[in-house]
Structure 1
Amino acid sequence: MPADIQSIERNPKFRELVEARKLLGGSLTLLIIIIYFGFILLIAFDPKLLGTPISGVITLGIPVGLFVIVAAFVLTGIYVLRANATYDVLTKEIIEESK
């Protein structure tokens, strides 16, 4: 079994897969952290801005908060689409080559 693991780890496609996943995952994680903490910092340092009415009782904070939630779903969707289109193909190729 360890010989199989070592042969997989030496495979250039495996290294490509690891690097691609690390880059995309890190980038998307950093982006959602910036969005989320930007929202939190906006609440902390300029709450009046988010309390600005835009239509009746709806304030600016509601669409901004919804943006944070939707952004998390969209970024997750981007990762899933990329994983299904690219990472799964590479994983299957690596498995086939290791047999």
Structure 2
Amino acid sequence: MKPLSSSPHELLASPAFKKLVKQRWSVSLVLTFTMLLVYFGFLLTVAFNKQALATKIGDYTTLAIPVGLGIILFAWVLTGIYVFWANSRYDKSVEELKNKLS
């Protein structure tokens, strides 16, 4: 791959930069829609099947409590996936592009 000149405009117009931006948006959108699917699934369950979440699983606890905690933990997992991806791939690609600019 040929080195870029020192112009930031050339970097922004380069195919490598456009590919990197597209990749970041793709990962972000997949994770966002996954979280929205889980969250709205929970909301639709609350709206249309309250009895399922009202099922007792102990003396004082209903199924809604662990399901809600699971949704929160799922959001943390998705955040961890994004951080792992960003640290292992995205940051390296950004550094490569920055080095070409220098």
Q: TM-score, normalised by structure 1?
A: 0.91
Give the superposition deviation at 1:56: 2.0
- Flag structure 2 segments of 5+ consecutive residues without an equivalent: 1-5
Give the superposition deviation at 1:12: 2.7
Does 2:1 correspond to 1:4? no
1:46 aligns with 49
- Larger helix fraction of residues: 1
| Distance in 2 of aligned mates of 1:72 and 1:4 | 39
1:75 aligns with 78
4+ residue runs over 2 A deviation: 10-13
| Distance in 2 of aligned mates of 1:26 and 1:80 | 14
Please provide the CA RMSD for this pair.
1.3
Q: 1:28-79: CA deviations, max 9, x gaps?
A: 0000001111111111111111000112221111111011111111101110
- Percent of pairs with identical residues: 39
**Aligned match of 1:94 in 79, 87, 97?**
97
| Distance in 1 of aligned mates of 2:14 and 2:90 | 15
| Distance in 2 of aligned mates of 1:54 and 1:69 | 19
- Flag structure 1 segments of 5+ consecutive residues without an equivalent: none
| Distance in 2 of aligned mates of 1:73 and 1:46 | 26
